[in-house]
Amino acid sequence: MKFTILVNEGPYQHQASDTAYQFTKAALEKGHEIFRVFFYNDGVNNATRLAVPPQDDRNITQNWTELAEKHGLDLVVCIAAAQRRGILDEDEMKRQGKDAHNLAPGFRISGLGQLIEGGIQSDRVVVFGD
C-alpha cells in the first residue's frame, strides 16, 4: 500500500508527531511505500534544525531526518505555515531578507499542491493531529 502522511502537530506539544514517525517507520518495515510526509500547521515545527531537546529525550527532527535519509523519504514542509512560524530554508531566507535559515536536513519547503498530489498518488492519506 502507498501512503501519504500528514503531520499537523509540533514535535513536543502532542503525541501526534511521535505517532506519525512510528507509523511511518513501521509501514516501511512492513514493505509499504511512503509517497510523501507533509508537515502542516504546527507540524512544520518538526523541521527546525535549531531545536535542542534534552540529551535523555528523543530528538524527533533528527529521527525524521535519519528515516528520510535511510528510505529516501520526501519530507515536505508547507511554505505558508512555515513562514508564519519562522521556519525558512536558504532560498526563503534570501527572498525574505532574513539573516538565517533553520530548515533541518532532509526536509524541503513547498506548497499545498504537494499534499494534494500525495492524496492523488497514494492509496491512503493518514492524518496525525488536528
User: What residues are labeled active site?
Assistant: 78
Which residue intervals of 49-126 are DSSP H helices?
60-71, 79-84, 90-96, 113-121
Chain centroid to CA 113: how far?
15
43: number of Cβ within 10 Å: 28
